[in-house]
Structure 1
Amino acid sequence: MEQDIISDYQQRADTALEQANKYGQLVNKYSLQRLLVFGFLIFSVCMAVVQDDIMIFAFCLLVSIFWFAWLVRQQSKFEQLKQYYTDLKKVNENEIANILHRTNIYDDGTLFNNDKHFYTSDLDIYGNRSLFHLINRSSATPGNHKLAKWLDAPADKQTILQRQDAVKEIAGKNDWKLNLQTLLLFGLKQPADHIKNLVTYLKATVEIKDEKFLTIYSQAAPFIMLALIVASVFYAPARYFTVLVAIANNRLVSSRSKLVERADLIAGKIGAALALYALAFEAIQNETWDTPYNQALAARIKRTDGDSVSTQIRQLSKLIGKLNSRLNLFVSFILNVFFIWDIRHIIAIENWKRRNHQSLEVAFDVIAEFEAIMGLAGLAINNPAYTYPEIVDEEAYTIVAKDIAHPLIDEFKRIENDYELTDTFKVDIITGSNMAGKSTFLRTIGINTVLALCGAPVCAKSMRVSVITIISYMRIKDSLNESTSTFKAELDRLQMLLAAVQTEPKVFFLIDEMLRGTNSVDKYRGSKAVIEQLISKKGVGMVATHDLQIARLEDKYSDYVRNFYFDIQVKNGEMLFDYKIKHGECKTFNASLLLKQIGIDVEDSIE
């Protein structure tokens, strides 16, 4: 199954490469033709001199302008198509690498790392090779923040179920998903705050001095110039008026050069981005959605009282694109002489901004939400064996999983386990040897629960889970900056856990080797006291430990505490791990064997 998915992505990537090469050749063809325009213009100058007739040059100049403009449009269209297929190839190749090597060209979420969060640091939610890095398909900051918000805390049951339906629908539209990813891929190269700056620019209008006069004159200017040119054909002195008006027009534009340059400094950088965002909005609007969640999202950018968001943004993109024509000095001079081009389009851009007062933040938030959903959908597409968990609404706690495994471990290396906690209150004590799988199992339950409660599929054959709040106690770190020892850090974490059990809804804790920063006697006493306090508060969760005495709590709290273990088999001095969880207490430990492998004989050292 995995090979079929990879083959599909590879075929898509190969087809995209062929198309990129095809349009690359067309770009080069039209680039050469643009040189012919200049050759034609030089030829017209020579002919005008030989024939002593400036009208030959004037006519050829008009032909050259329209010819050059057509070539520029064609070349620009083919460049956009070449870039699209180049990006489509990257997107498909990234999916292959994501499946095979767990790599990703999108952000890894390091920005969201927080050692004081309930679980994200312990469960590898953010950072290199993290869960966020595995599933993220957001090309811009808003999408990254949206996905991080979903992973930071469980949603309510209704939202989870709606997201599941939305994810399923997009997982069934892989062509659409890859297309939208491709349209938005440019965002990876943009500054982190480019959307924020873009929205700020679009909402801020500029007052233009003599705007009413300039608006009227900019509309009349091309007709005045055309009339003077026609008059010059029949009445030679009219040529002088033509030249004077041309100079006056150019002077009028240059007198507003600071205004134009200031506007172009901002608008010029976002024109191409707006065109791509317009295509992205259009892709969302034009798709037929069946699930309420996706329908509601798409409805936020569809307008019944006017143009859609995609149409409006495309209009602005075209205006900015036309303003960018000023970057070519020759073309800029001609356009300003005939059309008062720069002023004409600065006014048009400002009028657009005044007319469109709708909240653009909402529109970009829709894209962010779709990117977050696409990340979860990508997980489903690339891992067809994953399943959508059943979200149960019961008074007590439920986590029931069959063949559950860790999604960040390679498919051929991870071990599947079963676990059952059905509508009850329990503390599970998990004992076992070093490296036998205790910590990995805790993380497996934790990370899949995080996936389940954000609306994603999970790495299991089946799973039932209630809406719970995960709190972990696993990777406790000291801090030189905060003058915090390991033991103090552990106490702080325990204090947070005990407080959360009383204040947070349905806390499910994952504790791995409590109180490592103290001696064995205090460690046992303290661990036992903490677990008993959690039991008294009706706390529910798992405690992994090497201390077999902790397992004795099952004798005292037989209706509340359950014992599980991971063990090893030793054959001919070799340790064999099956990484399977079992009921009961561990009887086999391997520290002495591990020490012996590095040259330390425990029995000899006692003497």
Structure 2
Amino acid sequence: MNHSYLTSILMAAGFILLFVIWILHENRKNQKQLLQKIRNAYGKPSQRRYEPGDLDKISHYYKRIKEDRFYIDDITWNDLDLDSMYMMVNQTISSPGEDVLYSMMRLPVFSKEEADKREDLIQFFAASQQKRERLLQSLAKISKNGAGSLSDTVLALKDAPRVHTGIHAVLLLVLLASLVILPFSPVYGFFFLLIIMITNVVVYYAGRDRKLIEAYLICFSQLIRMLSAADELESVDWPEIKEQMDGIREGRKAFHKIRKRSVFITGSNGAGDGLQVVMDYVRMLTHVDILVYNSLLDQVQGKTGQILQMIQCIGELDAAISIASFREMLSYWCRPEFLPYTTAQPVSLEAADLYHPLLTEAVANSIQAKGGTLVTGSNASGKSTFLKNVALNSILAQTLLTCTCSCYKAPFLKVMTSMALRDDLSGGESYFIVEIKSLKRILDEGKKEVPLLCIIDEVLRGTNTIERIAASSQILNALDKKWILPFAATHDIELSYILNGVYENYHFQEEVREHEVVFDYILRKGRATTRNAIRLLDMLGYDPKIVKAAGMAAENFERTGVWRTIN
């Protein structure tokens, strides 16, 4: 009998040894695959596919921390399609990384000190491949969370319910007792052990307690993964990231007791999927995750500040690497030069060879603006794209410190737009009401006498021509302040004359050929002089009578200023 037990013990030990060797082998293979994935992704467009609602969940961290700071509001964010811009930039490997990167793009910096600190971090990772890759391998342990922002899942623990553990403690004791009986009565002990194991599994999955806390156990798992990454980074002592590492270590200290019991909650602590499978069986047989749940909850609740601090510090590192990767994929880019602002001089902006990063065949344009800029031209000529590009690069300058141009010079600017508006069907508001509210928010912000870049596309397009020209000319004139840099696009050539002494005129033009319209998308000084809409009617085969009559009516109006009545 003793010989049999010794054989069984040796076989069990051998199995465990082989299992450990297999786990170590899988870990090494996974690390090699991860490293290759990291290297392949750097400097390349992101291949991630976003599900509906993903970006809304990611935005929750930004909403938690924005407080009273100036932020890129929803109208501007949507006008410029900054969701697509974020998806292009986002090469982060961790949930804190994507949370913080999103918050960076919504919360521009307004001080040179803050901009320089972020730039130093980006440059450090751009120049240090080995350190960059080592850091990303550690951060990969946190992974990305399908439930959205890591702050949502982890901070949900502050409202988590407690469970009654009495029945689970009894079942564990009975299981241990059956193991004690087994050597003395193998047959009866085996059947007793089998019965209690089945009972424990049934109670574990069918009982109320685990269902009550299942979502919160996932929250613990996310926190433990972040702490596991922090543990692995403990030995990192690079002066360039000292500020972030100090914050991570400080947050980590607040949760040192949790780490000792973390294996009971999750096996995803860097030991590999094999251990996760084993621990799943251990938990369903012993209910150990339910038994330690309340004590772990005591260690987490009340530590919101430490959790957010760790997310921010870890996220800054991951986001900085993502920005460095974004720079690598661009045709060319430049660091912004932030000019000092004084009330004695009007706000100015200079950008050379400016191109839109979301366009595959973008045409570069240059602009030097001081005071208002009015852009005219026909539909599809490039007006809106150019204005969006100016606003986008001003935001990129103060968020990612990366402009898609060869030169960018401007003071720190608040950026607001009113461009791609829609009717508010849920609120029962027409396009015109939505539009005038959007414009009013810009006018209100402009009263604060702080440098403001505002971009307006087709002012008051939602009303009739006479009132549109009358009101829009006065709105644009009201934005003629030293601290405001207004850009506007319009089809109304009349505005270029009314505002001639206030706004600098620029235009885009097209060439109508025999069977096509050709745009070169090049910005030119002066107002648009070509009117090709009627020529397009002819080109597309409209009745010659309609085309001729329209041309004559336009010529008569230009000559007399009065529309002739049609009899």
TM-score (norm 2): 0.74
Q: Do 1:431 and 1:545's aligned partners in 2 also have CA atoms closer than 8 Å?
A: yes
Q: Which of the residues 598, 603, 606 maps onto 2:540?
A: 598
Aligned to 2:560: none
Q: What is the deviation of 1:267?
A: 8.3
1:109 aligns with 2:55: yes
The within-5 A match list for 1:319-334 is 319-320=264-265, 321=267, 325=278, 327-328=280-281
Q: What is the deviation of 1:473?
A: 1.7
Q: Which of the residues 135, 140, 155 maps onto 1:184?
A: 140
Aligned to 1:7: none
TM-aligned CA distance change 1:70 to 1:190, over 3 Å: farther
TM-aligned CA distance change 1:479 to 1:242, over 3 Å: closer
Q: Do 2:510 and 2:518's aligned partners in 1 also have CA atoms closer than 8 Å?
A: yes
Q: Do 2:96 and 2:150's aligned partners in 1 also have CA atoms closer than 8 Å?
A: no
Q: Do 1:109 and 1:133's aligned partners in 2 also have CA atoms closer than 8 Å?
A: no
Q: Do 1:274 and 1:313's aligned partners in 2 also have CA atoms closer than 8 Å?
A: no
Q: What is the deviation of 1:398?
A: 3.0
CA deviation map 1:197-225 (0-9, x unaligned): 4455599787866999999x99x99xx97
Q: Which of the residues 68, 77, 83 maps onto 2:15?
A: 68
Aligned to 1:540: 485
Computed over aligned residues only, the root mean square deviation of the Cα atoms, in angstroms, reads 4.7
Amino acid at match of 2:528: C
Amino acid at match of 2:474: A
Q: What is the deviation of 1:512?
A: 1.3
Amino acid at match of 1:398: S
Q: Do 1:511 and 1:543's aligned partners in 2 also have CA atoms closer than 8 Å?
A: yes
Amino acid at match of 2:358: L
The within-5 A match list for 1:309-388 is 315-320=260-265, 321=267, 325=278, 327-328=280-281, 342=286, 359-383=306-330, 385-388=332-335
Which segment is superposed worse, 295-304 or 320-329? Answer: 320-329
Q: What is the deviation of 1:60?
A: 2.0
Q: Which of the residues 162, 165, 173 maps onto 2:128?
A: 173
Query: Counterpart of 1:301 in 2: which secondary structure?
Result: helix
Q: Distance in 1 between matches of 2:335 and 2:459?
A: 33
1:417 aligns with 2:352: no
TM-aligned CA distance change 1:64 to 1:593, over 3 Å: farther
Query: Counterpart of 1:477 in 2: which secondary structure?
Result: coil
Q: Which runs of 5+ in 2 are unaligned?
A: 61-70, 268-274, 553-567
Highest RCO, 1 vs 2 (Cα 8 Å, sep ≥ 6): 2
Aligned to 1:289: 238
Q: What is the deviation of 1:566?
A: 1.9
Q: What is the deviation of 1:122?
A: 1.0
Q: Distance in 1 between matches of 2:435 and 2:170?
A: 73
Aligned to 2:412: 467
Q: Distance in 2 between matches of 1:211 and 1:577?
A: 74
Q: Which of the residues 526, 529, 534 maps onto 1:584?
A: 526
Q: Do 2:150 and 2:222's aligned partners in 1 also have CA atoms closer than 8 Å?
A: no
Q: Which of the residues 402, 421, 424 maps onto 1:457?
A: 402
1:134 aligns with 2:88: yes
TM-aligned CA distance change 1:355 to 1:537, over 3 Å: closer
Q: What percentage of residue pairs aligned between the two structures are identical?
A: 19
Question: Across the two proteins, how many residue pairs are aligned to each other?
Answer: 514
The within-5 A match list for 1:226-245 is 239=184
Aligned to 1:280: 229
TM-aligned CA distance change 1:134 to 1:285, over 3 Å: farther
Q: Distance in 2 between matches of 1:185 and 1:254?
A: 34
Q: Distance in 1 between matches of 2:503 and 2:452?
A: 17
Aligned to 2:65: none
TM-score (norm 1): 0.70
TM-aligned CA distance change 1:246 to 1:518, over 3 Å: closer
Q: Distance in 2 between matches of 1:103 and 1:245?
A: 52
Q: Distance in 2 between matches of 1:482 and 1:567?
A: 38
1:399 aligns with 2:355: no
Which segment is superposed worse, 506-515 or 149-158? Answer: 149-158
Q: What is the deviation of 1:492?
A: 1.8
Q: Distance in 2 between matches of 1:81 and 1:276?
A: 19
Aligned to 1:159: 114
Q: What is the deviation of 1:497?
A: 2.0
TM-aligned CA distance change 1:241 to 1:135, over 3 Å: closer
The within-5 A match list for 1:430-509 is 430-503=375-448, 505-509=450-454
Q: Select the structure of larger CA radius of gyration.
A: 1
Q: What is the deviation of 1:379?
A: 1.2
Q: Distance in 2 between matches of 1:213 and 1:483?
A: 60
Q: Do 2:372 and 2:485's aligned partners in 1 also have CA atoms closer than 8 Å?
A: yes
Q: What is the deviation of 1:408?
A: 1.0
Q: Which of the residues 565, 590, 594 maps onto 2:507?
A: 565
Q: Distance in 1 between matches of 2:538 and 2:135?
A: 56
TM-aligned CA distance change 1:456 to 1:77, over 3 Å: farther
Q: Do 2:230 and 2:249's aligned partners in 1 also have CA atoms closer than 8 Å?
A: no
TM-aligned CA distance change 1:518 to 1:201, over 3 Å: closer
Q: What is the deviation of 1:397?
A: 1.7
Q: Distance in 2 between matches of 1:271 and 1:211?
A: 20
Q: Distance in 1 between matches of 2:50 and 2:238?
A: 26
Q: Distance in 2 between matches of 1:565 and 1:384?
A: 26
Q: What is the deviation of 1:272?
A: 7.2
Query: Counterpart of 1:453 in 2: which secondary structure?
Result: helix
Q: Distance in 2 between matches of 1:241 and 1:319?
A: 29
TM-aligned CA distance change 1:527 to 1:199, over 3 Å: closer
Aligned to 1:4: none
TM-aligned CA distance change 1:388 to 1:97, over 3 Å: closer
Q: Which of the residues 87, 103, 115 maps onto 1:149?
A: 103
Q: Distance in 1 between matches of 2:12 and 2:222?
A: 27
Q: Distance in 1 between matches of 2:225 and 2:385?
A: 43
1:551 aligns with 2:493: no
